[in-house]
Structure 1
Amino acid sequence: MTTDFGMFQFAKINQPDVNSGYTLDDNARAMIAIGQHYKLTFEESDLTYIHIYLDFIEYCQQADGKFLNYVDFNKNFTDQNAVDSLEDSNGRAIWALGYIISLGHILPEEILIKAKMVFHKAISGCCNDFDSTRAMAFIIKGLYYYNRHEKHTEVRKYIKVLADKIVQMYRHESSADWKWFESYLTYANSVIPEAILCAYAVTGDFVYRDIAKESFDFLLKNTFSENAIKVISNRSWMLKGEEREDFGEQPIDVAYTIIALRKFHDIFKNPMYVDKMEIAFNWFLGNNHLQQIIYNPCTGGCYDGLEENCVNLNQGAESTISYLMARLMINKHLSNDEDEDDDEYSESNPALSAIKMKKNVLYLNKKKIALKRKNHR
């Protein structure tokens, strides 16, 4: 799915749809996933892809520090950039940059230097201008990861400004039976309480901790049964005071839930969060209402969605990266590695190969590789 320029957006079954072009969203997520994998394995080939995704993110950055999202096959920015809101895309880019910067101690210096340059330019252009709840949450995550690499007063200040804005939204919208930041549950919901928990991890402000837990527990109540997860439908969002629709589930929401569960377990040490991680990951393996596997072990891709009566068999960038991120995250628990606040999990698996392409030819690594941790000094 990846060329020497970036990762294609969509696929037709398991073949990249070159006409769909590229997005900042997908390349930011891909850089996080490859960074997670490199942290564990130190595979040299990962650095090639980190360079590609980082260069793409820089390509999308404009003079004011903000980013455009949509790029066509010919590397031109499309008109869609003027139509869609780009706040969430900008937030994802900052999350990805912050994450890569947090790996600066193991990455080549030129990657760290470029990531920090793009990050600082983006922060100056984004932190004070965005109102999207999820964009602010993604930015907090990026700032949180940057802070793990380098403690910086300005970064801490930005985290507090954004977290306080989200807390104010919570206080305005929540009620006795609706513990949420908005009057609806839509997409990427778990990112918001996770970001507030990250703000607590940096600042030690118990207001952030308590609101993060209260809102996340409310979300879990509305997405988990005793032994299964059913994320919010993308066919119609769950509105406050109304019945939710059951069908139309996307892998990215399951993956984001797993990532957030890991963070909540790191902070609160409640085994319930780990149990739900396993339940959520099993959604990919067939624990869903159709009893259908969503991950394709033959191609390494992940299907684009679970509908009422069928599975969307296209294996695009978003869904494939989502599976990979979930797989990398769950592996730390499965390997009994319980270091507090170390959020990256990894193992070699075919999903990594599914997002790699060399010289515009899809590369699928069919060789079975033993899954084991590598020790590096």
Structure 2
Amino acid sequence: METEDESYRYEENPQYRLNTSDAISYLELADKINKNDKIQLVMLQHEFGFFTEAKNGLMLFLQKLEKDIIITFHTVLPKPDRELKEKVKEISSFVKSIIVMTGISADILTNDYDIPSHKIKMIPHGTHLLPFIDKTSLKSKYGFKDKKVLSTFGLLGSGKNIETTLEALPEIISQNPDVMFLIIGKTHPGIIKYEGEKYRDFLQDTVKRLHLEKHTYFINQYLPLDELLDYLQLTNIYLFTSKDRNQAVSGTFSYAISCGCPIVSTPIPHALEVLNEDLGIIIDFEAPKQLAAAVNTLLKNETAQEKLRSNSLEKMAPTAWENSSISHALLFQQYSKDKMTLHYTFPIINLSHIKNMTTDFGMIQFSKINKPDINSGYTLDDNARAMIVACRHYELSKDESDLDLISTYLKLIKFCQQPDGSFLNYINQDKEFVQQNFETNLEDSNGRAIWALGYLLSIKTILPPQFSNEAESIIENSLSSIENIHSTRAMAFIIKGLHYQNSENNIPLLKKLANRLVKMYQHEKHRDWHWFESYLTYGNSVLPEALLCAWITTKDEMYKQIANESFKFLLSKIFIKGGIKVISNKGWLQKETMKSPESIGGEQPIDVAYTILALSTFYKVFKDEKYLQMMTNAFSWFLGKNHLHQIIYNPATGGCYDGLEEKNVNLNQGAESTVSYLMARLCFPK
């Protein structure tokens, strides 16, 4: 999009160009789009200033265009005069749907412009996912060590009213002499064209007048995105002082909140909708005294700042560009003439977060957002699963760093083994076993340890021999305790481990445990109930998968038959309309009722992962393409194919969120969720 006076050079030659100064250019563009049979839908980003040079150019374009149109209004002005109202209504008459970025904008369109609400879709301004970095290290990197940083950014113009902050700074400095105010961004090119650097000169004169030279820093450049996001992350408080009372939405405001910045803002509609006492502070327009008081209140309370940061991240998580793209795609789907299918692109395999969570002792249990919480200690469960991930990844990549991970997790498993061969599960940050080990049934944890050790042994030909020797020794020492395990899932994990170990000596034990599962199945089986228990709870897929593993090892057809029957039954309960909805931890599915409570949320990554692992095993055995398709559909749950249409995997950190709730995603990226995601992702080698 260009004008008579401004044209640009592009890295890739664009297929279409629009000269917004020339009405004929609008007609020519519409004609070219009409002739392109590959184009079904046209998405138009609308800002009133874009289309004013050629009178009626936009209307000519809309009238001539024969494709369906969706338009995004970046600005929605309240209380329009008659001419503006008619113009917006006319634009609306040509489009299938109008996207706005705030609920307030949607209300204005309905109430002030008489646009029917069914035509309006609210999709918030997109924001960037970030691998959150410590403020202290970022401040050192950019030369602001030991400073309390205030910032604002965006194209400079008098509407930003930055002088409000400058007038407030003397009062802020009196209580916080180490404060630094960053003014980031070049002057708006449209303003440069008409008045040059008049506004920047005014701000710099104000800095001199108030003797603020040591406390202000102008960054007069277009910063690369990663650098801009660094500046926002090192910011203690972000200041938004616009005096435009009708500013419907601000991208700079959205970016700042998504970076976890506590915000002090004037009451533009966007701020009124998003901010509350848990996210920031709203002040009046052009009120330097209020701004100074708000900033000083926050700067003296680091706990409050941290709470605002956490709340901001949770509030803005749904607005990640990945989620925004899904929302747009679903809207396009509604108006597609052909049946449009939404495909999710698989992220590259990334072990960054698992490495971030791993110390020289093991993988830490929990995280706060993506920061490891060492106070949560370690568990055998997590480290056993993490070892499987490291082994699988080494199979694919032969990455030498995987060997360090395998070694670490293997040592922790050995650390957990007791003299009688059984394992304890819970370890505190001081590497001590805690009381919880003696108050909790640890059979499942013991089973997972055997699964992990067996998997390591299945690839022993490509591993250093000391790894397999250690794993063999640990398994052999555990055999006497294994026989006494009767937990359904624990037996299933052990069967998988013994299957992978592939030791003739342990086949009788594998059969003994498999036969126990068979008896449980035969006891509970009913005409409409093909399961091992009288309920479906967590980790269900491991049960039929274990029996299929038992069949692979023994060729006993009974194991194969029950594996098939039970897995078919389970899949019928968790695959709905092509997507997966695992049994919620908010309500199990009971045999008596044959259906689970109508609960939404409580879906855990581990259940999705176990389902994908089982589907992968069934596909390898039966070569039925339906299992491969189900694997893809199930994995798409991590990428947004769920009831919230939000990502569960964070590609910026390599971590996986801890769960899908009714109205939100749990943003913590703990060990269980992350290794579960990676186990699932590694089922797809490419």
Q: TM-score, normalised by structure 2?
A: 0.47
* 1:185 is aligned to 2:536: yes
Is 1:137 the counterpart of 2:492? The answer is yes
Partner in structure 1 of residue 596 of structure 2: 244
Measured after TM superposition, the shift of residue 226 of structure 1 is: 2.9
**Unaligned 5+ runs, structure 1:** 336-377
Offset of 1:240 from its aligned partner?
1.1
Distance 1:264 1:85 in 2: 30
The reply on whether 1:24 has 2:348 as its aligned counterpart is no
The alignment covers a number of residue pairs equal to 327
Distance of 2:477 and 2:527 partners within structure 1? 41
Aligned to 2:424: 68
Question: Among 194, 210, 222, which residue is 2:561 paired with?
Answer: 210
Corresponding position of 1:174: 525
Residue identity in the other structure for 1:135:
A
Secondary structure at the counterpart of residue 329 of structure 1: coil
Instruction: Determine the C-alpha separation between the residues in 1 that align with 2:466 and 2:481.
Output: 23
Instruction: Determine the structure 1 residue equivalent to 2:195.
Output: none
> Structure 2 matches for 1:194-209, cutoff 5 A?
194-209=545-560
Deviation at 1:267, TM superposition (A): 1.1
Unaligned runs of 5+ in 2: 1-356
Q: Distance in 2 between matches of 1:284 and 1:72?
A: 30
The answer for the alignment partner of 2:509 in structure 1 is 158
Structure 2: distance between partners of 1:77 and 1:239: 36
Give the aligned partner of residue 326 of structure 1.
680
What root-mean-square deviation, in Å, do the aligned CA atoms of Structure 1 and Structure 2 show?
A: 0.8
Letter in structure 1 aligned against 2:377: G
Deviations 1:161-213 (A, max 9, x none): 00000000000011011100000101110000000000000111110000000
- Cα deviation, 1:316-372, whole Å, max 9, x if unaligned, reads 0000001111100123xxx5xxxxxxxxxxxxxxxxxxxxxxxxxxxxxxxxxxxxx
Runs of 4+ in 1 over 2 A off after TM superposition: none
Do the aligned residues in 2 keep the contact of 1:281 with 1:330 (CA within 8 Å)? no
Name the structure 2 match of 1:98: 454
Q: What is the rounded CA distance, in whole Å, between the counterparts of 2:462 and 2:479 in structure 1?
A: 24
Among candidates 262, 268, 272, match of residue 616 of structure 2: 262
Distance in 1 (CA, whole Å) between partners of 2:681 and 2:409 is 20
Task: Tell me the SS of whatever aligns to 1:119.
Answer: helix
Give per-residue Cα distances to partners, 1:112-150, cap 9 Å, x unaligned: 111111111112321x10110000000000000000xxx
Question: Which residue identity lines up with residue 229 of structure 1 in the other structure?
Answer: I
Separation in structure 2 between the aligned mates of residue 258 and residue 8 of structure 1, nearest angstrom: 25
Equivalence map 1:349-364=2 (5 Å): none
Which one-letter code corresponds to 1:111 in the other structure?
F
Partner of 2:360: 4
Instruction: State the shift of 1:236 in Å.
Output: 1.9
CA distance in 2, matches of 1:97, 1:124: 16
Residue by residue over 1:25-83, the C-alpha shift from the partner in whole angstroms, topping out at 9 and shown as x without a partner, is: 00000000000000111111111110000000000000010000000000110000011
Partners in 2 of 1:115 and 1:97 — Cα distance? Answer: 6
- 3-state SS of the aligned residue for 1:22? strand
For residue 85 of structure 1, give the secondary structure of its aligned residue in structure 2: coil
Q: What TM-score, normalized by structure 1, do the two folds share? A: 0.86
Contact map agreement 1:252 1:319 (CA 8 A) in 2: yes
Q: Which moved more, 1:112-121 or 1:86-95?
A: 112-121
- Partners of 2:634 and 2:684 lie apart in 1 by 10
Look up the equivalent residue of 2:548 and give its one-letter code.
Answer: L
Which residue in 1 is equivalent to 2:626? 272
Measure the CA separation in 2 of the matches of 1:271 and 1:104.
30
**Does 2:652 align with 1:301?**
no
SS at match of 1:292: coil
**Larger mean Cα displacement after TM superposition, 231-240 or 250-259:** 231-240
Q: 3-state SS of the aligned residue for 1:11?
A: strand
Q: Is the 8 A contact 1:6 1:27 kept in 2?
A: yes
C-alpha separation in 1, matches of 2:640 and 2:578: 12
1:91, CA displacement in angstroms? 0.1
SS at match of 2:372: strand
Structure number with bigger Rg: 2
CA contact (8 A) 1:169 1:182 kept: yes
| Distance (whole Å) between structure 1 residues aligned to residue 651 and residue 404 of structure 2 | 24
> Residue 258 of structure 1 contacts residue 330 of structure 1 at CA under 8 Å; is this kept in 2?
no
Question: SS where residue 17 of structure 1 aligns?
Answer: strand
Letter paired with 1:30: A
Q: What letter corresponds to residue 162 of structure 1 in structure 2?
A: L
Find the aligned partners of 1:37 and 1:156 in 2 and give their Cα distance. Answer: 27
Q: Distance in 2 between matches of 1:100 and 1:226?
A: 37
